[in-house]
Amino acid sequence: MKILGVGFNYRSHCTEAPAIGLPEQAEAEAPLFFHKGDALLKPHTPFFLPDMGSSIEYEAELVLQICRVGKRIAERFAHRYYQRVTVGIDFTARDIQRRAMAEGKPWLSAKVFDGSAVVGQWLDKTELGYPERPIPFSLKVDGRVVQAADSSEMIHGFDRLIAEVSRFQTLRMGDLIFTGTPAGVGPIAIGQTLEGFIGEHKVLHLPIK
């Protein structure tokens, strides 16, 4: 199973980049993909803050689960390759990412560490009214909404992401695509509780230990 992430796929996050110490981001013509390695957190377990000497930040995202094998998928057919969606958290070691971006190096150490890819309960896209209606999602930290957006706000939509990445990598059943985060990212601390929502459906509950 592959876990793929997409960087800077919401204009609001591109805009906030300088405020969190990252280089200013222009809207990209093509999606920016990265791998999350074997970093999936086991279901129904807390996230243990790693002893990396780093600032670990949450990034809430809509996550797609690939449901069939595909290579070089045309965008008009891409909707056939995913049926389920959830809210996930792409945990990021922000200080390591800042340093890597400043030096023009890969983000691997900032994005791939144990448990840094979290997914919630899966929902069927048709039951959510997609694609006729965009999919709204949000993240709460200790009961306070810190991120909120919907799928229509993405620079590159679901189908474009699948078409683009499948030019280079075969997508297989069970692969996950974290589709990008909106503005509002921030640090986590021991004792906090993160909750992810699709509309009014709570799909993720994550204590920080």
Domain segments of the chain as ranges: 3-134+149-188
| pLDDT (0 to 100) of residue 38 | 92
**CA–CA separation, 166 and 2 (whole Å):** 12
**What's 200's DSSP letter?**
T
Domain 3-134+149-188 has CATH 3.30.310.80: no
Share of the chain above pLDDT 90, in %: 91
Residue type, 62: L
Only one residue has tokens 């990212």, namely 185
d(CA 129, CA 68): 21
pTM to 2 decimal places? 0.97
Structure tokens that stand for 105 in this block:
């190096």
Q: What is the pLDDT of residues 31-64, one digit of tens each?
A: 999 999 999 999 999 999 998 878 999 999 999 9
Give pLDDT, residue 32.
Answer: 95
Strand partners, 60: 89
